[in-house]
Amino acid sequence: MSYTQRILAEVSNKYPHQVFFLQALKEILHSLEPELTKNKIYEEHSILERLVIPERSISFRVPWVDDSGKVQVNTGYRIEFNSALGPYKGGLRFHPSVNEDIIKFLGFEQILKNSLTTLAMGGGKGGSDFDPKEKSENEVMRFCQSFMNELYRHIGERSDVPAGDIGVGAREIGYLFGQYKKLTNRFDGVLTGKGLRWGGSLVRKEATGYGSVYFAQAMLEGKGDSLEGKIACVSGSGNVAIYTIEKLYALGAKPVTASDSKGMIYDCEGIELGLLKELKEVQRVSLSEYAKMRPSAKYIPIEEYTKGRNEVWSIPCDVAFPSATQNELNGADAKVLLENGCICVSEGANMPSTLEAIDQFIQARICYGPAKASNAGGVATSGLEMSQNASMHSWSFDEVDEKLRGIMRGIYENASQTAEEFAERDNLVLGANIAGFRKVAMAMIEQGVV
Ligand code: NDP
Ligand code: 2IT
């Protein structure tokens, strides 16, 4: 049994119910196999044994009072996974599906993603099973305040810097920051994704979506192609999806789909971005409203999806941007995408493709950008926000955007050159995992057994 197989077996035995964490681990360990076979230093230092266990894992009660006066209780999490490269860094997710398994998979991915950005950030993730949907402003505020009443003692601008993820955007970051400041009497860069008036960075809001499109552009250019004139399918209609669509238009592509948890829209004329922003960022309503206002759009509710499929991926396209959530693109979806001639998949969401889907993309040798590489633009720009906070400067939109573009190109080059060392130039899963891992592992070795 190889080193990676032994570790996977041990973790599977210990945490058989952590299916998302095991899925992420399986993908990563499989990619690391050739590197770990070639180089025994990692096994000599028990790097994998240490890497798979979080440095610290916190879970806590979050009680709050709803508008009717009733006490509600949620569970909060912060998993501080690895600090070899810098302070723990990663988002907070507020969604009813959140549990320790989900936060562990996200935190584990974050370690290697943050390493790829080249910035000094370790990996962490947190969140709660709280559902911000259909809550009043005051309920969201009270929940965020209660969440921070515990979280504040674990975080700090030099130790652990949370940000947004699903269900946590500018509004939630504002309430979280306000409560942190009240409790600690400190105005510092403890969170990223802050408002532009009080320490936030330009481009952070747009960064994950823009970055995912820059990554697709770099992959296509590697094959002498471009996004110009391409039809794009995008899933999701949140922060990542909206700014993916915006940048796709800027680079000459035509995005024709968007989705949410209740259904999807197909707009053959191209998604009307202003309308999408109004419905999702301002009114926070279902996508079914979009179709009522656009004659060129068709709304398909989730109940009408073909069984076992995500209907977004059945719309013929050249390029695909899964930007909603984990496992939203399975083996059957991948097959249809490939049959329809899709040549590029850039993941905006975390772990959106199942292992079966990934296998098919690799076999077909299309441009496939795995999440930890292609969606690293968000956290990279969080790193730029931290730099600006530390130096008390703020950079212009173009300055940050240019840095983001350079970081995404650098990640593509690093991943493809690393893959090439193993004679698999097109396999960016292998390249990204090995490149991200090497840096973290060497830092751990140099810092001793801690
Ligand atoms: P948002 O909360 O802004 O939007 C999430 C979108 O995905 C919404 O359209 C939501 O629909 C949909 N969605 C969420 N859960 C499900 C589900 N179980 N089934 C179907 N649709 C779902 O989140 P973000 O855009 O920030 O995050 C999207 C993805 O990108 C996540 O995987 C996140 O981890 C990842 N990511 C985010 C980064 C960031 O900077 N924000 C950085 C890197 C990755 P509905 O509104 O109906 O719930
Ligand atoms: O998954 C991710 O990289 C994020 N949600 C962004 C994390 C961050 O710290 O900006």
If one counts every other C-beta atom within 10 angstroms of the C-beta of residue 63, the result is: 12
Q: Is 382 in the pocket of ligand 2 (CB under 6 A)?
A: yes
How does residue 233 score in pLDDT terms, banded at 50, 70 and 90? very high
CB 387 within 8 A of CB 414: no
Single out the residue of 335, 313, 340, 170 nearest to residue 238, CA to CA.
170
CATH of the domain at 121: 3.40.50.10860
Which tokens hold the place of 351? 């772990």
How does residue 154 score in pLDDT terms, banded at 50, 70 and 90? very high
CB 115 within 8 A of CB 439: yes
Domain-embedded: residue 125: yes
Ligand nearest to the CA of 92: 2
CB 434 within 8 A of CB 39: no
- pLDDT tens readout for residues 95-152: 999 999 999 999 999 999 999 999 999 999 999 999 999 999 999 999 999 999 999 9
If one counts every other C-beta atom within 10 angstroms of the C-beta of residue 276, the result is: 22
Question: Active site residue: 125, 205, 247, 254, which one?
Answer: 125
Domain-embedded: residue 404: no
Q: Is 89 in the pocket of ligand 2 (CB under 6 A)?
A: yes
Measure 309 CA to ligand 2 centroid, in angstroms: 27
Domain-embedded: residue 420: no
How does residue 431 score in pLDDT terms, banded at 50, 70 and 90? very high
Domain-embedded: residue 377: no
124 membership: H or E segment, kind and range: strand 123-128
Query: Across residues 176-195, what is the average pLDDT?
Result: 98
Looking at the structure, do residues 244 and 268 belong to the same domain, yes or no?
A: yes
Distance CA 340, CA 337 (A): 5
| Amino acid (1-letter code) at residue 274 | G
Single out the residue of 42, 151, 6, 93 nearest to residue 351, CA to CA.
93
Distance CA 234, CA 319 (A): 9
CATH of the domain at 301: 3.40.50.720
Distance CA 376, CA 142 (A): 31
Domain-embedded: residue 421: no
Distance CA 117, CA 115 (A): 6
Boundary (domain end) residue, out of 364, 380, 406: 364
**pTM (predicted TM-score):** 0.98
Ligand nearest to the CA of 169: 1
Measure 43 CA to ligand 1 centroid, in angstroms: 36
Measure 249 CA to ligand 1 centroid, in angstroms: 21
Note the pLDDT of residue 416.
98
Give the nearest ligand 2 atom to 110 CA: 3
Note the pLDDT of residue 404.
98
Distance CA 396, CA 388 (A): 11
Nearest CA to ligand 1 atom 8: 238
Looking at the structure, do residues 213 and 253 belong to the same domain, yes or no?
A: yes
Distance CA 102, CA 93 (A): 10
Number of structural domains found in the chain: 3
Distance CA 21, CA 289 (A): 36
Measure 130 CA to ligand 2 centroid, in angstroms: 18
How many helices (H) and strands (E) are present in the chain, helices listed first? 17, 13
How does residue 385 score in pLDDT terms, banded at 50, 70 and 90? very high
CATH of the domain at 1: 1.10.285.10
* Mean per-residue pLDDT over the chain, rounded: 98
Looking at the structure, do residues 297 and 352 belong to the same domain, yes or no?
A: yes
Note the pLDDT of residue 307.
97
Pocket test for ligand 1, best of 261, 285, 381 (most atoms within 8 A of CB): 261
Looking at the structure, do residues 23 and 66 belong to the same domain, yes or no?
A: no
CB 319 within 8 A of CB 344: yes
Note the pLDDT of residue 328.
98
Ligand nearest to the CA of 280: 1
Domain extent, residue 233, equals 207-364
CB 199 within 8 A of CB 285: no
Looking at the structure, do residues 151 and 230 belong to the same domain, yes or no?
A: no
Distance CA 114, CA 124 (A): 10
Nearest CA to ligand 1 atom 42: 378
Looking at the structure, do residues 248 and 323 belong to the same domain, yes or no?
A: yes
Note the pLDDT of residue 393.
95
Boundary (domain end) residue, out of 364, 379, 396: 364
Measure 100 CA to ligand 2 centroid, in angstroms: 17
Distance CA 222, CA 417 (A): 12
Nearest CA to ligand 1 atom 11: 260
Note the pLDDT of residue 325.
98
Q: Is 239 in the pocket of ligand 2 (CB under 6 A)?
A: no
Single out the residue of 235, 212, 439, 210 nearest to residue 330, CA to CA.
235
Looking at the structure, do residues 273 and 346 belong to the same domain, yes or no?
A: yes
Q: What percent of the chain has pLDDT over 70?
A: 100
- pLDDT tens readout for residues 318-364: 999 999 999 999 999 999 999 999 999 999 999 999 999 999 999 99
- pLDDT tens readout for residues 44-75: 999 999 999 999 999 999 999 999 999 999 99
Domain-embedded: residue 202: no
Looking at the structure, do residues 11 and 62 belong to the same domain, yes or no?
A: no
Domain-embedded: residue 309: yes
Measure 281 CA to ligand 1 centroid, in angstroms: 13
Give the nearest ligand 2 atom to 121 CA: 9
Looking at the structure, do residues 4 and 136 belong to the same domain, yes or no?
A: no
Note the pLDDT of residue 53.
98
Distance CA 128, CA 234 (A): 26
Looking at the structure, do residues 233 and 180 belong to the same domain, yes or no?
A: no
Boundary (domain end) residue, out of 344, 364, 384: 364
Note the pLDDT of residue 195.
98
Ligand nearest to the CA of 134: 1
Looking at the structure, do residues 175 and 262 belong to the same domain, yes or no?
A: no
What is the C-alpha end-to-end distance of the chain, expressed in Å? 27
The size of the chain, in residues, is 450
Judge whether 125 counts as a catalytic residue.
yes
CB 406 within 8 A of CB 119: no
Give the nearest ligand 1 atom to 193 CA: 40
Single out the residue of 353, 423, 354, 411 nearest to residue 383, CA to CA.
411
Beta strands in 204-256 (DSSP E): 231-234, 254-255
Domain-embedded: residue 375: no
Query: Across residues 233-249, what is the average pLDDT?
Result: 98
**Pocket of ligand 1 from Cβ distances under 6 Å:** 164-167, 169, 208, 236-241, 260-262, 323-325, 348-350, 375, 378
CB 291 within 8 A of CB 297: yes
Looking at the structure, do residues 254 and 327 belong to the same domain, yes or no?
A: yes
- pLDDT tens readout for residues 279-310: 999 999 999 999 999 999 999 999 999 999 99
Single out the residue of 113, 110, 54, 121 nearest to residue 88, CA to CA.
121
